[in-house]
Amino acid sequence: MAKYKILIKESAIKELENTPRKSLKQIIKRIQSLSDNPRPKGSQKLSAQERYRIRQGDYRIIYAIRDDQATVHVYKIGHRREVYRT
């Protein structure tokens, strides 16, 4: 399987900077693991969009996969109670 390139939206980087330090390492490790397998066990496709989500503790990572370009676009990172709000 080819490695996927990870692209993180600027707003997601800001959200990542605001996460508590104890969760930060695990979230970064989880995002990096998407380059090997963008559809890991436990990932779910969001119903209204062409996006997926994975859990990391109380945090969710919302992302889209472009198989034709071998890229993963991370759109949003946030606490589970806030991440789905628009």
The pLDDT of residue 47: 84
Domain ranges across the chain = 5-79
The pLDDT of residue 49: 83
Tell the residue number behind the tokens 């969710």, with chain if given. 60
The pLDDT of residue 35: 94
Provide the residue-wise pLDDT of the chain in tens; the chain has 86 residues: 579 999 999 999 999 998 988 889 999 999 999 999 999 999 999 988 889 999 999 999 999 999 999 999 999 999 988 887 76
The kind and range of the H/E element at 76 are: strand 71-79
Report the relative pairing of strands 59-66 and 44-45 from DSSP bridges: unpaired
Structure tokens at 53: 């989500």
Helix, strand or coil, per DSSP, at residue 62: strand
Helix, strand or coil, per DSSP, at residue 10: helix
Beta strands across the sheet bearing 59-66? 5-8, 71-79, 59-66, 52-56, 44-45
Superfamily for domain range 5-79: RelE-like (3.30.2310.20)
